[in-house]
Structure 1
Amino acid sequence: MTTGAKVPETEVVPIASGRVAVRWRASPRARRISMRIDPRSGHVIITLPRGARRADGLALLRAHSAWVAAGLSRLPPRTELRHGGHVLLDGQSHEIHHAPEARRGVWLEDGRLHVSGAEEFIARRVMAWLRAQAAHLLPARLRLQAGQGGFHPTQVRLRDTRSRWGSCSSDGGIMLCWRLVMAPREVQHYIIAHELAHLRHMNHGPDFWQLVDQITPHRRQAEKWLHAHGAGLHRLGGA
């Protein structure tokens, strides 16, 4: 990673406000040391360019300890996928009910999400079910919305992104974060509209936003919801 002593991949570092988990990343392409908070894991990610030292990264961390503490304090608590917990689908909250004797996998019934099998597999099975729902629902909704507006994306992909809800590539491919399936339908509609608009405007200029507002009436409502609840979607499941 750097010259000198080997830098650990992760470690716990004391700062003025307490102790924080740090994840180190080497980047030969980086031009300077950078730092950000991973909203999913709660790690402080410090990126070191070629030749940078761990001591330099620690100096940056401690110089901005107040910023780090404030950012970590704003993270919502991690959602526990367990019996009696709750999970969102299309913005609707469903209580998780463990049904150990059942043989149906995971299914929705009477407003509850039932999970069969051993208790220690509840979280993994719920996450797999959510991903399957996303794979079924989000591409179909995007294609429907694209057809209604006369847009022609070349492909639709789902990923587990940490900082973007969607993206549009120069060749017309659209990516959506699968976790959007947990957000209300109005939020999904806005994110899809945002990426479809990029098929005609690969920027965020006035023409782009005018087109977004033509495609969806949910922009302001969705932005407000994502600001309040978006980070919580990333706090579901593993880091």
Structure 2
Amino acid sequence: MGQINLPGNPPIPVILRRSARARRLSLRLSRLDGRVTLTLPKGVSEAEGRDFVLSKESWLRAHLDQQQAEVPVTHGALLPLHGADLPIRPGSGRAVRLTETALEVPGHQDQVPRRVQAFVKTLARDRLAEASDRYSQALGRPYTRLTLRDTRSRWGSCTADGGLMYSWRLILAPPAVLDYVAAHEVAHLAEMNHSPAFWAVVERLYGDWKAPRRWLRTQGPQLHRYRFD
């Protein structure tokens, strides 16, 4: 795997990936981290690939411009909790406090990201555990454990021994989306696949799942904009 740089302001690094199975040149822009990948079929030179990228420059820059910038989590920033944008404001005492209109975070500015992340993870665990328990009881199948991670490739997973894993960033999504992901993963306790039988279980547990699934595909990547470091 190599790399070329598309000149301009700013220059755009393009990762080169060769594929024996690819039949044509293809350019992919990741919605998660903005990485650009060019797939080269067998027999296509790097020079041909560079020309292809140059021919797509306008399209590429337009889409990169549309991607929203990262949001440092600090006093003054807006953070979506349960899908509603709340301002992060200075607070008193020692504990983070969630009100109807703001997230109040005490301490120095440097402490805010870490404190907010700890608070958000606890909130996410509580909501995901509640939703998982509810759907697990409705299904009649228990899960063995629940873990949280900050994953980019998936919002949740279910292991063969009944372990559920979720991205804690789901707490930043609308409640219906978090509930859908919980129902999706719990449904895997009965069907470890994505067959029609599996989707029938999801629908029985959750109802019409198409809208929250579509939200995750179109809006979900934006949840990774928020930086807690």
2:189 aligned to which of 196, 199, 221:
199
**Cα distance in 1 between the residues matched to 2:204 and 2:126:** 26
- Match of residue 42 from structure 2: none
1:173–1:123 CA distance, 2 compared to 1 (3 A): same
- Match of residue 177 from structure 1: 167
Amino acid aligned to 2:141: F
SS of 2:227's equivalent in the other structure is coil
- Match of residue 229 from structure 1: 219
Shift of 1:79: 2.5
- Match of residue 143 from structure 2: 153
SS of 1:104's equivalent in the other structure is coil
**1:46-125 equivalent positions in 2, closer than 5 A:** 63-64=52-53, 66=56, 69=61, 72-99=64-91, 102-125=92-115
- Match of residue 168 from structure 1: 158
Structure 1 vs Structure 2: percent identity of aligned residues?
A: 32
**Cα distance in 2 between the residues matched to 1:178 and 1:110:** 21
Q: Structure 1: where are the runs of 5+ without partners? A: 25-29, 48-54
Shift of 1:97: 0.8
**Cα distance in 1 between the residues matched to 2:72 and 2:4:** 23
- Match of residue 220 from structure 1: 210
SS of 1:103's equivalent in the other structure is coil
Shift of 1:114: 0.7
SS of 1:142's equivalent in the other structure is helix
Q: Structure 2: where are the runs of 5+ without partners? A: 40-44
1:104–1:224 CA distance, 2 compared to 1 (3 A): same
1:59–1:203 CA distance, 2 compared to 1 (3 A): farther
**Cα distance in 1 between the residues matched to 2:50 and 2:127:** 41
**Cα distance in 2 between the residues matched to 1:21 and 1:125:** 34
**Residues 184 and 202 of structure 2 are in contact (CA less than 8 Å); yes or no, is this contact kept in structure 1?**
yes
Tell me the number of residue pairs that the alignment of Structure 1 and Structure 2 aligns: 217
Alignment RMSD (CA, Å)? 3.6
Shift of 1:191: 0.8
**Residues 189 and 218 of structure 1 are in contact (CA less than 8 Å); yes or no, is this contact kept in structure 2?**
no
Amino acid aligned to 1:220: K
Amino acid aligned to 2:102: R
**Cα distance in 1 between the residues matched to 2:190 and 2:103:** 40
TM-score, reference length from structure 2 = 0.75
Per mean C-alpha deviation after superposition, the further-off stretch among 151-160 and 35-44 is 35-44
**Cα distance in 2 between the residues matched to 1:189 and 1:86:** 23
Q: Does 1:188 align with 2:164?
A: no
**Cα distance in 2 between the residues matched to 1:237 and 1:188:** 20
**Residues 42 and 72 of structure 1 are in contact (CA less than 8 Å); yes or no, is this contact kept in structure 2?**
yes
**Residues 138 and 205 of structure 2 are in contact (CA less than 8 Å); yes or no, is this contact kept in structure 1?**
no
**Residues 4 and 50 of structure 2 are in contact (CA less than 8 Å); yes or no, is this contact kept in structure 1?**
no
**Cα distance in 2 between the residues matched to 1:138 and 1:61:** 46
1:176–1:122 CA distance, 2 compared to 1 (3 A): same
- Match of residue 118 from structure 2: 128
